[in-house]
Each structure stands twice: as C-alpha cells, then as structure tokens.
C-alpha cells in the first residue's frame, strides 16, 4: 500500500506540476541509517509557467518498490514523453518553438 506524504500526490502531477530530481530509494531510519524494509519515492516540483522548482514536494512510501515504479510509469513518464516529442518538433522546425507547456497530446 502506498502512503503519500508529500505536499502533492504523484497522481496530481500534470503539465503545471512536473516531478523532477526523482529518487526511488530504500528507506533509511534518519537516526541510525538502518534500512526499514520500505521504499521511498521523492521528487521536486517543477512549475514551468513560473520557472521555479520547489524541493521535497512529492513523497510516497510503500513496502513494495514495484508500486512506486508504477507511480512513475503512470504519472511521471507520460509528462517526459510529451516533453521529448515537443523538443523533437522544435529540432525539426515544426510549429512548436518552446517547451513552456508540457500538455499531453
């Protein structure tokens, strides 16, 4: 089971709140450094329309790494795939001339 602990749930990632600086790590106890058997997915929030990044906005914890991988596949990868397509259009001289909006097709 996934516990969302951040300011923004990964399910709310969109073209105005993009997870960046993404980390998927085995959770460690802050005091002892010992692993506790859970996994943590963390990311900063990139807001392209404001040109700002806020650290620590996204955080989710699960006993199963695979559950957090699914969050990445469902909510983060599609945004990056869209960004790549838009950048390719820019390079090819298409109508797109910026990566200001990461709206999905």
- Residue 80 within a domain: yes
Residue 55 covered by a domain? yes
CA atoms within 13 A of residue 60's CA, in its CB half-sphere? 25
**97 within some domain:** no
Domain annotation covers residue 103:
no
pLDDT for 95 equals 74
> Does residue 102 belong to any structural domain of this protein?
no
Is 69 a member of any domain? Answer: yes
Q: How confident is the model at residue 11 (pLDDT cuts 50, 70, 90)?
A: very high
Q: Model's pTM, two decimal places?
A: 0.87
Query: Which residues are CB-neighbours of 95 under 8 A, at least 6 positions away?
Result: 89
Q: Number of folded domains in the chain?
A: 1
Tens-place pLDDT, residues 66-81: 999 999 999 999 999 9
- Please report whether residue 70 resides in a domain: yes
Domain of 65 in residue numbering reads as 3-91
pLDDT at 39 over 90: yes
What's the CA gap between 44 and 38, in Å, rounded? 20
**99 in a structural domain:** no
Q: How far apart are CA 102 and CA 40, in angstroms?
A: 26
């Amino acid at each position: 089971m996934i516990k969302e602990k951040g300011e923004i749930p990964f399910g709310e990632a969109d073209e105005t709140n993009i997870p960046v600086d993404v980390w998927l790590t085995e959770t460690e106890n802050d005091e002892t450094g010992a692993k506790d058997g859970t996994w943590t997915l963390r990311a900063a929030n990139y807001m392209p329309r404001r040109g700002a990044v806020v650290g620590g906005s996204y955080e989710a914890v699960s006993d199963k790494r695979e559950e957090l991988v699914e969050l990445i596949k469902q909510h983060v990868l599609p945004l990056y795939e869209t960004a790549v397509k838009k950048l390719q259009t820019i390079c090819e001289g298409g109508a797109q001339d910026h990566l200001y909006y990461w709206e999905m097709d």
